[in-house]
Amino acid sequence: MNTFSRTAITLSCLLVLAACNKKPPEEAAAPPAATEPAAAPTPAAPAEPTEEQRAAAEKQAKLDFATMEDRFLSDPKGQWATSAKASSSYGEKGDQMPKAPEASRAWKATGKVDGDGWSQLEQDVGMDWLELGYAKPVNATALRAVFTSNEAVNAITKVELLDEAGTATVVWSGVSDVKPEENGPRTWFVREFPRTEKKVKGVKLTFANPVAIGYKDVDAVQLVGE
Instruction: Give me the CATH number covering residue 83.
Output: 2.60.120.260
Question: Which pLDDT score is estimated for 103?
Answer: 60
pLDDT per residue as tens digits for the range 21-50: 554 445 555 556 656 666 677 777 778 889
Residue-wise pLDDT tens digits, 134-171: 999 999 999 999 999 999 999 999 999 999 999 999 99
Which residues face 84 on adjacent strands?
Answer: 132
Task: Tell whether 161 is covered by a domain.
Answer: yes
Q: How many domains does the chain have?
A: 1
Q: What pLDDT, on a 0 to 100 scale, did the predictor assign at position 95?
A: 63
Does the pTM exceed 0.85? no
Residue type, 35: T
Domain around 90: 78-225
Instruction: Confirm whether 14 is domain-assigned.
Output: no
Burial 136-154 (b: 16+ CB within 10 A, else e): ebbebbbbbbbbbbbebbb
pLDDT confidence bin for 199, thresholds 50/70/90: very high
**Residue 204, pLDDT score:** 98
How many Å apart are CA 109 and CA 82, to the nearest integer? 9
Q: What is the pLDDT of residue 41?
A: 75
Establish if 121 belongs to a structural domain: yes
pLDDT band at 188 (very low <50, low <70, confident <90, very high): very high
- Closest Cα to residue 171, out of 148, 149, 137, 202? 202
Which phi and psi (to 5°) does residue 220 adopt?
-160, 160
